Chains A and B, each alone.
Chain A
Amino acid sequence: MILLPSPSRFLLQILQSRLQNPEKAVELDCHSVEFDDVRYHIQFSVKNPQSMLLSVSLPTPPPEIVFFSGLPFGAIEAIKGAYGVLVQILDPPKDGYNLTMKLNLSKLPPDEEQRHALLVKIASVREVVLGAPIRIILKHLASRKVAPDLDRLVALVHRPNESFFLVPQAEKVTIVYPMRFKDSVDVVLATSFLQEFVEARRTAGLNNAPPCQWSSSPPMDLREAPPHSVTANAGFVTFVIFPRHVEGRKLDRVVWSLLTFHAYVSYHVKCSEGFMHTRMRRRVESLIQVLDRAKPEVEKPKKSSPRRSFKRLSLKDARANSNS
């Protein structure tokens, strides 16, 4: 697995198992937490087995970002657009969550393929909700006009109390990620990973990919950003997205990849750590083998059975002994 998949495996599994045996009405109440503090709460009741209550909590936004009634800009429209008649948004949402939706599973399309596509869409609710603002901006880019009601520098939340920045222009959108990691080893690995990443972009096969840059100091685009949000211990990554990157069906994948760039880097940092450990283990094992070979042959004392050291008694003597 190189890229993180957009639909949540857990949600998809629950939905599919529900639809396979719809007559089995069991109560279900479970929760799950994803990277960057996105929480799900799923409820099914016995009374109403066809309707599912799905609550989603989003990462806490940093102060420069304003949520509209607990959700990112344009999220409600995006939900309605994606799920249509299926969904009913409950207001106010459940305590501790940003959004509670009531999904009516009996209204799913009967066609197998469409139904599956819609289930996948429900499972990717994260992309729909958190990706709503970025999707709007990229859509404007595809039609080559700047959204009128947005500022010059847009901050979007992607991790708890952390944001990344978009600079929408008519011909391109510049996206800047301040990369922060908690662990000092991760910082080092991530820095070199990102430098390699930029390097890899220059290979011939990737000419059409969005240009990307890495710098250790905040790029000029972030002049207007609040100072607390432009500190990063693993540098800044800048992508420039052109209209050709968001044409037609590419849009969905671009939205998801941009939204989870930090998670992507962090996943690969963890993997590389794992692989390094595997290598180290293998190396240590091979070195131990070499050491073992170098050990001088120890002259083994000839094993003699302990009984031999005693004088053997003949059967007759033994009897005499035991009788005495």
Chain B
Amino acid sequence: MDAADRPAVVIDNGTGYTKIGFAGNVEPCFIIPTVVAVNESFSKDSRGSGKGNWLAQHNAGVMADLDFFIGDEALTRCRSSSVYNLSYPIQHGQVDNWDSMERFWQQCIFNYLRCEPEDHYFLLTESPLTPPENREYTGEIMFETFNVPGLYIGVQPVLALAAGYTTSKCEMTGVVVDVGHGATHIVPVAEGYVIGGSIKSFPIAGRDVTLFIQQLLQERGEHMPPEESFEVARRVKEMFCYTSSDILKEYGKHDREPSKYIKHWTGIKPKTGAPYNCDVGYERFLGPEIFFNPEIYSSDFNTPLPTVVDSCIQSSAIDTRRALYKNIVLSGGTTMIKDFHKRLQRDVKKIVDARTDASDARHGGDVKSKPVEVNVVSHPIQSFAVWFGGSVLACTPEFYSACHTKAEYEEYGGSICRANPVFKGMY
């Protein structure tokens, strides 16, 4: 049986969560936090013992190499014992620590999917602003260490757009608003090609929402153990947050009917085992608000997300703009916050309408411009849309011819992965 007859393995490494699974499935097999728990104690001990004892040093190194965990297991291990240190291999959408990343992939493949990497084609993803060196590095690890027969590195926003690709609707033009855990990018895509010059990034992402909620909770003096507070804030974000249409009204609603709007969070302190509970009030809508009014969170950045989306579309080629406004696609876990798409659509529409009205007024009412259709597309699989797009893509017969193969790698080396064809089209 040839490797092309087996389903390809699709791995979408995000800053917060990694989605792994097989092509052809609707859902990823596993969604696990992108984190590695490494046991540092071995390497520290061996360094102290001096040069002469190289065997002990070597053995310690070997043990340290084997003694690590990933995902949820890593988090629980780290909580229960102090010998493990957490390492987050991806920071702001870019691979930061290649050693941890390699270990992470190794466990994903052998422990989670339990497949033989030689038998499957692989589809990995990267954020749109990845430097070519990182792509080369990825190719090197995949081909050298794991001996994969073929590798395709997809660009996350393009895959997110492909997730909406069905037989009835073949739309590969749109703006992808990808709000992940560590990075937010706004990427215009025309006919499947990324418009490289117009990619905008936004310094606020899911992690910042969590930090902001944590700060609000702490400032109000809610009783929660400090070591748990980030985790509590994250759960609060995932369970209770929603996007409001108007903050002032929302404050009013909360004040009038606190019983209806204020939620409670109960947990158990990990050290003492005593239960605690805290109230969740304004942060339910203030957390997501930082995308629309960034000045309440950060002092050096105050352009709201809808404005950035608009300026991104305005900077792309004029003939694509209408199509781009018509198809604003959301992806990433943070966009799952309730009513996020409605608010974004309303705000972008407002900016666009203001502009058309102004231009109509300038022309003195003789010429009426055709109204611009603004449409924010939202679907329930947003949180793993990138993975799903990868799964769809890897099912097509063209996928296998688009892959970099092992033979190519052996002939030319890592440079085959350097350029990504999706960026080539529009220049």
- State the main secondary structure of chain B at its contact with A: helix
With beta carbons under 8 angstroms apart, the residue of A35, A186, A274 that contacts B115 is A35
Pair A271/B120 contact, Cβ less than 8 Å: no
Pair B145/A30 contact, Cβ less than 8 Å: no
Quote the shortest CB–CB distance from A180 to chain B (angstroms): 12
Pair B116/A35 contact, Cβ less than 8 Å: yes
Report if B307 contacts A (CB, 8 A): no
With beta carbons under 8 angstroms apart, the residue of B30, B66, B116, B146 that contacts A36 is B116
Pair A30/B110 contact, Cβ less than 8 Å: no
Pair B22/A32 contact, Cβ less than 8 Å: yes
In the assembled complex, which residues on chain B have CB atoms less than 8 Å from the CB atom of A25? none
A196 to B299, CA, bound (A): 60
Interface 1/0s, chain B 4-34, versus A by CB < 8 A? Answer: 0011000000000000001011110110000
- State the main secondary structure of chain A at its contact with B: helix
Quote the shortest CB–CB distance from A171 to chain B (angstroms): 35
Pair A274/B114 contact, Cβ less than 8 Å: no
Pair A9/B110 contact, Cβ less than 8 Å: no
A277 to B144, CA, bound (A): 9
Quote the shortest CB–CB distance from A10 to chain B (angstroms): 5
In the assembled complex, which residues on chain B have CB atoms less than 8 Å from the CB atom of A35? 114-116, 119
Report if B118 contacts A (CB, 8 A): yes
Interface 1/0s, chain A 261-276, versus B by CB < 8 A? Answer: 0010011001101110
A1 to B74, CA, bound (A): 12
Report if B112 contacts A (CB, 8 A): yes
In the assembled complex, which residues on chain A have CB atoms less than 8 Å from the CB atom of B119? 33, 35, 37
In the assembled complex, which residues on chain B have CB atoms less than 8 Å from the CB atom of A143? none
Pair A186/B147 contact, Cβ less than 8 Å: yes
List CB contacts (< 8 Å) of B102-127 with chain A: 102-103, 106-107, 110-120
Report if A195 contacts B (CB, 8 A): no
Q: Report the nearest A residue to B7, measured CB to CB.
A: A33
Report if B98 contacts A (CB, 8 A): yes
Interface 1/0s, chain A 18-35, versus B by CB < 8 A? Answer: 000000000001111111
Report if B231 contacts A (CB, 8 A): no
In the assembled complex, which residues on chain B have CB atoms less than 8 Å from the CB atom of A34? 113-115
In the assembled complex, which residues on chain A have CB atoms less than 8 Å from the CB atom of B65? 271, 275, 278
List CB contacts (< 8 Å) of A183-223 with chain B: 183, 186
Report if B319 contacts A (CB, 8 A): no
Pair A33/B145 contact, Cβ less than 8 Å: no
Listed from nearest, the 5 A-B pairs whose CB atoms lie closest are A35-B116, A30-B25, A275-B65, A274-B145, A34-B114
8 intermolecular pairs with C-beta atoms under 8 Å apart: A8-B114, A9-B112, A10-B30, A35-B115, A60-B1, A263-B116, A275-B65, A278-B65
Beyond the given A4-B114, A274-B103, A282-B99, please list 7 additional residue pairs across the A-B interface where CB-CB is below 8 A: A10-B30, A13-B30, A30-B29, A31-B24, A33-B120, A186-B147, A270-B117
